[in-house]
Amino acid sequence: MIGYPDGTARPEANITRAETASMLYALVIDEGKADYKERASNFSDVGANRWYSEAVGYLTAQGIIMGYPDGTFMGDRAISRAEFAAILSRFGELDTGGAMPFADTQNHWARAEILTAYNKGWIYGYPDGTFQPDRSIARAEAIAMVNRAIGRDASSYAGHPMKFSDVQASSWYYNDIAAASNDR
């Protein structure tokens, strides 16, 4: 996690589709990534000059990120919890065994991906038994999910110095952000 030029992480703000693509692309280790630097995206709203075009082009080609039926990517749009879980789940094999624990995802378009993320221990849902798939995901929630997906132990960052002015040691996401911003 890089954060913003003003020294903030904005952990409770929504994360956009463009930020999601950029964050996940940075984690990919593939020599073929360089082939996407000069390519234009297939999405009508992602020109080659957009700061996230390389990430979107690569992740789309790998079948990880998808756009909308109208041919757009909508990079500035807040990403939903379901979209984020679906993207993470597409990095590997789906695991749809077992019962769906979230009542509000039974007939959702991303049911299989949400169940996969649950089965792999990346998501927990809310105390009321819901996942709230269509709600925008906060940056801190996304970072916590990514840490779990890549096996990064955020608990080992307890007390680690924080470089973001808006992340307090008492916040539930402190360790996750410390891990994501210092572990490369």
In a domain, 75, yes or no: no
How many whole angstroms separate alpha carbon 75 and alpha carbon 36?
Answer: 17
CB–CB of 39/56 below 8 Å? Answer: no
Q: What is the mean pLDDT of residues 88-101?
A: 94
Helices (H), the chain: 17-27, 53-61, 81-89, 111-119, 139-149, 174-182
| pLDDT value of position 184 | 43
In a domain, 85, yes or no: yes
| pLDDT value of position 40 | 61
pLDDT tens-place string over residues 105-163: 999 999 999 999 999 999 999 999 999 999 999 999 999 999 999 999 999 888 888 88
- Range of 85's domain? 80-149
CB–CB of 22/15 below 8 Å? Answer: no
58 has pLDDT over 50? yes
Q: What is the mean pLDDT of residues 14-35?
A: 87
In a domain, 173, yes or no: no
| pLDDT value of position 163 | 87
| pLDDT value of position 15 | 96
More confident residue, 59 or 33: 59
| pLDDT value of position 37 | 64
| pLDDT value of position 183 | 52
| pLDDT value of position 42 | 84
Q: Residue 6's Cα: distance from chain center in Å?
A: 22
In a domain, 92, yes or no: yes
In a domain, 99, yes or no: yes
81 has pLDDT over 50? yes
In a domain, 120, yes or no: yes
56 pLDDT band, cuts 50/70/90, is very high
178 pLDDT band, cuts 50/70/90, is very high
18 has pLDDT over 80? yes
80 has pLDDT over 70? yes
Quote the number of domains for the chain.
Answer: 1
Can you tell me whether residue 24 is helix, strand or coil? helix
Over pLDDT 70: what percentage of the chain? Answer: 95
User: What global pTM score does this model have?
Assistant: 0.90
